[in-house]
Structure 1
């Protein structure tokens, strides 16, 4: 009996040690959480401060990847509002200090020699209609400039979807029971098909046109709030390696023509990326940017802000 209790004690001690190591070293057992929203689709849950795989993620009271902010802009301060998807957000693999918004804050404070605040409202797979719904819900926070950071895929984004929250591993709505439990969950629980999801993802009609209409409504909100609307577009990795596909070229042309018609400042990163000596180093996968890519995007957007300040 003593041997049994001793064995159980050793096993329990090993499990507790393993749990502690997984939490302290890797940050497992605590992950960024999402909340479903009928208009926006989903947002990162507000008021989160997480350190995972050595990277810090801070989500403020307005579900922004930004520290806590005041709803009204302080005097003698330039406030920019960055809207985007996972590229602007940076996700769990990007430290808070290495997000594009954080880098822009540093760049602009140096360039302009004034206090600068860059808000970052973004989430994985958001498209123009998600971003429009966010602005309609929360407003512009008196930002002098609203900058929408898109990628080519965003031109074909579907309507906001909330079904993924709590059902897709990438959009959890609760913490795992433990760090060990999170590993077991990833290894042994297979994702199940989400009823109705495939129909929503295959939205019919002119998606590019619908998303351009969303941009027009964002522009109208910016105009109403005396803010300047700006758009920056990052390319997919294969577009830099080769060329955009024909349907992507047409969508890009439509966006560029729209910005000219509506007199919206537009920055296309495709030619900028192609000029770089080591273009592949700008990406961490087929779409998301590396720290080097984030720095390049931050620098060029900051210069654009300076020119239009």
Structure 2
């Protein structure tokens, strides 16, 4: 009986330590999502959580930015996907949008808002749908950070919120199940998962005429508002290795040339990436350094 009691005590203590560790890293406070019939999904507004020890906040319009104020006089709409959103691995203060805002304030002594309008796997179509819903916030410039994969990525409205772990709609009461799931997934990938034959998947032909409409829509919005539209093309590690861009990037580049949209293509070091395409804090800092002179030039600061 004593051995059973001791084993039970050790197990409970272990579980408690795992739970405390999981809570310390925010596994019961993931940023949450809402589904949308207009732009597929979006982070819930007015969140302020700590995930993996990083502060993650959204304002009243679900941007990863400070609240929008009526006193905002110069406004840049920084639009894109997870590259500028940063995800759970980037602290709010380490985002390129935050860094650029702070530097502009330091240099000019006035607040230039760099509104971070983005979400995971968004394409320009999602961005346009968002702007149609919420407006343009008195924008003086639209600056889009895109990648080659955005070119042929229309909205599909497949159920994702509350279905996949990447877009939760609620948090668990306990942290330890998350750790168990993560640990098992690692073990399964390493030792048990066999390669499955890829199923047939219909893909949109990567031709210029199939470029998602969001690119031309953003151009149209900027022309209607008579404000600059600039496109920053973010290359993945494999594209940087080859010193080129994939087919989608070439189509985006051709679109910009045809419509006289100024653009820049990134040149980043591999130690600035978390994975094939997403930036770490060092990469966000480098992105901010690239975006700052673009904003200064287009707004004639």
TM-score range, shorter chain: 0.7 to 0.9
SS at match of 2:151: helix
How far apart, in 2, do the equivalents of 1:139 and 1:55 lie?
30
C-alpha contact (below 8 Å) 1:158/1:203 kept by paired residues? no
Which residue in 2 is equivalent to 1:298?
A: 288
Which residue in 1 is equivalent to 2:193?
A: none
Question: Which of the numbers 100, 103, 111 marks the counterpart of 1:104?
Answer: 100
C-alpha contact (below 8 Å) 2:231/2:264 kept by paired residues? yes
Which residue in 2 is equivalent to 1:217?
A: 217
SS at match of 1:97: helix
Which residue in 2 is equivalent to 1:23?
A: 23
C-alpha contact (below 8 Å) 1:36/1:43 kept by paired residues? yes
How far apart, in 1, do the equivalents of 2:183 and 2:270 lie?
31
C-alpha contact (below 8 Å) 1:32/1:44 kept by paired residues? yes
1:281 and 2:275 matched: no
C-alpha contact (below 8 Å) 2:77/2:116 kept by paired residues? yes
The change in CA–CA distance for 1:241 and 1:9 in structure 2 (over 3 A counts) is: closer
Which residue in 2 is equivalent to 1:161?
A: 157
The change in CA–CA distance for 1:249 and 1:149 in structure 2 (over 3 A counts) is: closer
CA distances 1:66-117 after superposition (whole Å, capped 9, x unpaired): 12223x4x16x32211111000100001110111111111222234332122
SS at match of 1:156: coil
- The TM-score normalised by the length of structure 2 is 0.83
Which residue in 1 is equivalent to 2:139?
A: 143
Gaps of 5+ in 1: 191-197
Alignment: residue pair count: 288
C-alpha contact (below 8 Å) 1:233/1:268 kept by paired residues? yes
Which residue in 1 is equivalent to 2:194?
A: none
Gaps of 5+ in 2: 189-198
Which residue in 2 is equivalent to 1:59?
A: 58
How far apart, in 1, do the equivalents of 2:4 and 2:23 lie?
29
1:78 and 2:74 matched: yes
The change in CA–CA distance for 1:220 and 1:19 in structure 2 (over 3 A counts) is: same
1:120 and 2:116 matched: yes
1:267 and 2:264 matched: yes
The change in CA–CA distance for 1:245 and 1:304 in structure 2 (over 3 A counts) is: closer
Kindly state the Cα deviation for residue 186 of structure 1 after the two structures are TM-superposed: 3.6
How far apart, in 2, do the equivalents of 1:91 and 1:254 lie?
30
The change in CA–CA distance for 1:161 and 1:21 in structure 2 (over 3 A counts) is: same
The change in CA–CA distance for 1:231 and 1:119 in structure 2 (over 3 A counts) is: same
Say what the alpha-carbon RMSD is for the aligned residues: 2.9
Kindly state the Cα deviation for residue 120 of structure 1 after the two structures are TM-superposed: 0.6
How far apart, in 2, do the equivalents of 1:245 and 1:228 lie?
24
C-alpha contact (below 8 Å) 2:151/2:249 kept by paired residues? no
Kindly state the Cα deviation for residue 301 of structure 1 after the two structures are TM-superposed: 1.4
Q: How does 1:175-254 map to 2 (within 5 A)?
A: 175-187=171-183, 202-205=202-205, 208-211=208-211, 213-244=213-244, 247-248=247-248, 250-254=250-254
CA distances 1:259-297 after superposition (whole Å, capped 9, x unpaired): 41xxx332222xxx1xx6xx2223221111232322222
Kindly state the Cα deviation for residue 13 of structure 1 after the two structures are TM-superposed: 5.5
C-alpha contact (below 8 Å) 1:111/1:306 kept by paired residues? no
How far apart, in 2, do the equivalents of 1:231 and 1:134 lie?
18
C-alpha contact (below 8 Å) 1:140/1:225 kept by paired residues? no
Which residue in 2 is equivalent to 1:94?
A: 90
Kindly state the Cα deviation for residue 129 of structure 1 after the two structures are TM-superposed: 0.6
Of 205-214 and 126-135, deviating more is: 205-214
